[in-house]
Homo-oligomer: A and B are copies of this chain.
């Protein structure tokens, strides 16, 4: 329990706990929306549904709104409650996580716009098979990341970081395949480039998930594990 709470007393402490709980709840709501938007883009691609993709792109502002509101709430908590120790770390971690969530929203919007341009392909579920499989891996990673945040589960966070690393390697071979396709069939350059940008978007979503997972570790353990090797991160997490 932080010094602040002890000084102010139980009643206000409870209010403060409630405020922190509200912030966490809001982050999860925002995360839910981000996840939903991402899922809708993948479905739009599979169904060749340009209208659906346009709708997703048009709704990105809701995610931006969430970020700005939560950010403001965090600054208010810092100013009013002046949290210390783990409470402070939670608020700091939240301000960073929501930025990553907002960026995931941006990447999703970008994919939605690309899909709108390249939707006129017959049997998209075959054409986009590899991309959709990677998209499904990233969707699961995003879901698990939000789950780690909800439960502040550092062991799962490290597990998901490893998962992200494995998925990330897939992207290199996907990009290579697209380059080969372009070289063999210059007619396909425009559509292959769209797929390449979209693949890069998926990759970025994965990176943002890792950032969020790192912030879960920071919030719980008080250790900044960015730029650390995964084995080191695992060691940090195992230390009580």
Which A residues lie at the B interface, using CB under 8 A?
A: 61, 64, 68, 71-72, 75, 78-79, 82, 84-85, 88-89, 92, 95-96, 99, 179, 182-183, 186, 189-190, 193, 196, 224, 226-227
Q: How far is the CB of A182 from chain B (nearest CB, A)?
A: 5
Rounded to whole Å, the gap between the CB of A32 and the closest CB of chain B is 21
When distances are taken between beta carbons in the complex, the residues of chain B under 8 Å from A186 are 182-183, 186, 189
| A196: chain B residues within 8 A (beta carbon) | 193
Q: Beyond A64-B226, A75-B92, A99-B99, list 16 extra A-B contacts (CB 8 Å).
A: A68-B226, A72-B224, A75-B88, A75-B89, A78-B78, A78-B88, A79-B88, A82-B82, A96-B99, A179-B189, A179-B190, A182-B182, A183-B186, A183-B189, A186-B186, A186-B189
A5 CB to closest chain B CB (Å) equals: 14
Residue numbers in B under 8 Å from A95 (CB-CB): 92, 95
Please, how many angstroms separate the alpha-carbon atoms of A196 and B190 in the complex? 13
Number of copies: 2
Determine the distance from Cα of A183 to Cα of B188 in the docked complex, in whole angstroms. Answer: 9
Closest to A222 in B: B75
Q: List 24 A-B contacts (CB under 8 A).
A: A61-B227, A64-B226, A64-B227, A68-B226, A68-B227, A71-B224, A72-B224, A75-B88, A75-B92, A82-B82, A92-B95, A95-B95, A99-B99, A179-B189, A179-B190, A179-B193, A182-B182, A182-B186, A182-B189, A183-B189, A186-B186, A186-B189, A189-B189, A193-B196
The CA of A189 and the CA of B178, in the complex, are separated in Å by: 11
Q: Do the beta carbons of A68 and B189 come within 8 Å of each other?
A: no
A72 → chain B, closest Cβ, in Å? 7
CB distance from A67 to the nearest CB of B (A): 8
For A92, what are the chain B residues with a Cβ–Cβ distance below 8 Å?
75, 78, 95
Q: Name A224's contact: one of B68, B85, B189, B193 (CB within 8 Å).
A: B68
Chain B residues with Cβ below 8 Å from A224 are 68, 71-72
The complex places the Cα of A222 from the Cα of B134 at a distance, in Å, of 41
The minimal Cβ–Cβ distance linking A230 to chain B, given in whole angstroms, is 16
Nearest 8 CB-CB pairings of A with B: A82-B82, A186-B186, A64-B227, A79-B84, A182-B189, A68-B224, A79-B88, A183-B189
